[in-house]
Amino acid sequence: MFIRKKVINGKEYAYLVENRYNKKKKQSRQKSTKYIGKVINLGIADTQTVASTTEEAIINELTTKGFSHKEGNLTKGNINISLNSSTVKEGNKDVCLELNEGFLCTLTLTNLLKFNAENLNEKELIKAIAESFISAGINLHHTSFIDIYNNQVKTP
């Protein structure tokens, strides 16, 4: 699954899309499975984020975009990101922040903060963590990725 932007009446909206393969027709089709919210473009970062935890990476990435951090909440104007409840909202509506080459929304934030490492071998685990950061648009420095893997995910 992945997130796709659609332009409707000149405004961008994000949808979760799933690929399906029809064996008989030997064709793949894409189906929108869930509406995520309005897209708000935050641009591309000039530098990579340095952090030792996932939460720190999210905070560092967003503070460079003008967000202020206080007690597990990041705010900028009407946009509120709660690290405690893993939500991304503008007012009371879900939104999707286009950030670097990904999208930070409730789904990708939840995937980052509540990462499930069960039933994955080390190679699959590393790939899944990297994909979580990329899909959320967190431009993480490679040494920070290693630190996060060692500090939070890897079992001693």
Residue 114 pLDDT exceeds 90: no
Flag whether 14 is in a domain: no
The beta-carbon contacts of 86-93 under 8 Å, at least 24 apart in sequence, are 86/110, 86/113, 86/114, 88/37, 90/37, 90/38, 90/40, 93/37, 93/38
Q: What is the pTM of this model?
A: 0.85
Residue 21 lies in a domain: no
- Per the structure, the count of domains in the chain is 1
pLDDT of residue 134: 92
Q: What is the mean pLDDT of residues 65-69?
A: 93
In a domain, 84, yes or no: yes
How confident is the model at residue 47, as a pLDDT? 86
Rounded to the nearest integer, the mean pLDDT of the chain is: 88
Q: What are phi and psi of 80, to 5 degrees?
A: -130, 125
Q: Is residue 34, in this structure, part of any structural domain at all?
A: no
Tokens representing residue 62 in the block:
């967003």
Task: Give the model confidence (pLDDT) of 120-136 as tens digits.
Answer: 788 888 888 889 999 99
Q: Is residue 8 part of a domain?
A: no
135: Cβ–Cβ under 8 A, 6 or more apart, which residues? 2, 3, 102, 103, 108, 111
Domain-located, residue 16: no
Q: What residue numbers bound the domain in which 84 lies?
A: 39-153
Residue 19 within any structural domain of the chain: no
